[in-house]
């Protein structure tokens, strides 16, 4: 299981605690992205310089976020620019990632590498077996980053939340004590990286202080973004929505028949016009169709149903639950690094710390000492 880190105090102090407790995993994250950016033709110093363009947007969103980044750097013994680069990694990667800037990528592209990642699903209370809103996701990414993942249990002046993320980053998949949860699907558009806006992982961290999907929408739809992504959001009152973001704008995709699924291509017609080719990925549409079909097959969906859906191997390399391809170079070996099912009303995150098809889900409660099953 991934380590669960308890963080509290001022923004800088939370970051310092994080840096101290996750020093080795942060170093692993930095090394992974140093190598990955190099495959895309970017030296680590160049990546840090690009991330500096986003500092102003982060401070304007919430100055405490930047203070937390500085605290992580202090605690881990790294430069603030390195921690900033981790938190801006989606904005730094080129819009047509993976690009063949390196011979290994050229060979991988010949074999039709699928860079798509993540299948997410939100369930309204009316379709939930327990009567409470559910939010779930398979997180597909580089297999070697599994060893850099952490779960943060954070107490701030405004919120308490749990988030599963890469060490050194402030947030990714998570839920808070107010009953709101967030998931992430990376999207790609031709305008990614052309302007400095709010980095998506910093937005996720800020959203974990919201109480309702409506509050999240009020924030999300007024901001500018440096790269494209989708945030699937739900609250315990039953509201669900996907917020598709790109430098060209933002769109809200509502749920249908009590369930909302999303993968790695735009569903909003206007934003889809700017999608970077190939649209989404080889697997994005098949995964979306499969998730919708599996969800529609049951009148009610519970935690175990969603776990079963996320373990689905139909389609082989294009499946919802994605195993590694040992024939690919490391930088193309995308797989399901973790899987999460969240019960928003109970404040419980069920985490599979590997391909969910080969391990059990472990419940982690928002309340540190709560007994959960």
Residue 88: CA count within 13 A, CB half-sphere: 34
Structure tokens at 285: 């549409």
Low-confidence ranges of the chain (pLDDT < 50): 100, 109-110
User: What does the pLDDT read at residue 255?
Assistant: 80
> Would you say 186 and 118 are in contact if contact means Cβ atoms under 8 Å apart?
yes
User: What does the pLDDT read at residue 332?
Assistant: 77
Domain ranges of the chain: 4-365
Question: What's the chain's length in residues?
Answer: 373
Structure tokens at 310: 């996320």
Q: How far is CA 259 from CA 47, 209, 270, in A?
A: 38, 24, 23
User: What does the pLDDT read at residue 77?
Assistant: 98
User: What does the pLDDT read at residue 371?
Assistant: 62
User: Residues with Cβ < 8 Å from 248, sequence gap 6 or more?
Assistant: 189, 191, 271, 274
Best CA proximity match to 355, nearest among 293, 311, 325? 311
User: What does the pLDDT read at residue 315?
Assistant: 87
* pLDDT > 70 in the chain, percent: 92
Q: Where are the beta strands (DSSP E) in 177-255?
A: 180-186, 229-235, 240-246, 249-254
Domain 4-365 sits in which CATH superfamily? Penicillin V Acylase; Chain A (3.60.60.10)
User: What does the pLDDT read at residue 359?
Assistant: 98
Number of H helices, E strands in the chain: 13, 14
């Amino acid at each position: 299981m991934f380590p669960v880190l308890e963080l509290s105090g001022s923004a800088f102090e939370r970051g310092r605690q994080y840096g101290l407790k996750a020093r080795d995993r942060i170093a692993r994250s930095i090394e992974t992205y140093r190598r990955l950016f190099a495959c895309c033709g970017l030296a680590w110093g160049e990546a840090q310089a690009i991330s500096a363009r986003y500092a102003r947007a982060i401070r304007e969103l919430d100055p405490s976020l930047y203070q937390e980044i500085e605290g992580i750097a202090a605690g881990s013994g790294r430069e603030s620019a390195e921690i900033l680069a981790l938190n801006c990694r989606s904005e730094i990667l080129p819009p047509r990632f993976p690009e063949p800037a390196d011979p290994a990528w050229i060979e991988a592209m010949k074999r039709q590498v699928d860079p798509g990642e993540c299948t997410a699903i939100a369930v309204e209370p009316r379709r939930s077996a327990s009567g409470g809103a559910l939010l779930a996701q398979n997180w597909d990414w580089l297999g070697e980053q599994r060893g850099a993942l952490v779960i943060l249990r954070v107490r701030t002046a405004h919120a308490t939340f749990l988030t599963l993320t890469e060490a050194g980053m402030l947030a990714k998949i998570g839920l808070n004590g107010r009953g709101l949860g967030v998931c992430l699907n990376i999207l790609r558009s031709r305008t990614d990286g052309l302007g400095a806006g709010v980095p998506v992982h910093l937005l996720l961290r800020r959203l974990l202080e919201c109480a309702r999907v409506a509050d999240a929408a009020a924030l999300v739809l007024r901001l500018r973004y440096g790269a494209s992504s989708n945030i699937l959001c739900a609250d315990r009152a039953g509201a669900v929505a996907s917020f598709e973001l790109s430098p060209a704008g933002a769109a809200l995709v509502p749920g249908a028949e009590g369930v909302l699924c999303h993968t790695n291509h735009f569903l909003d017609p206007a934003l889809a016009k700017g999608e970077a080719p190939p649209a989404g990925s080889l697997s994005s549409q098949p995964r979306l169709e499969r998730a919708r079909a599996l969800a529609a097959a049951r009148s009610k969906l519970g935690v175990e149903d969603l776990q079963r859906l996320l373990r689905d191997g139909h389609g082989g390399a294009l499946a919802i639950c994605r195993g590694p391809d040992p024939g690919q170079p490391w930088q193309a070996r995308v797989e399901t690094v973790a899987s999460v099912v969240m019960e928003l009303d109970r404040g419980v995150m069920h985490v599979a710390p590997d391909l969910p098809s080969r391990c059990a889900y472990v419940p982690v409660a928002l309340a540190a000492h709560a007994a959960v099953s």
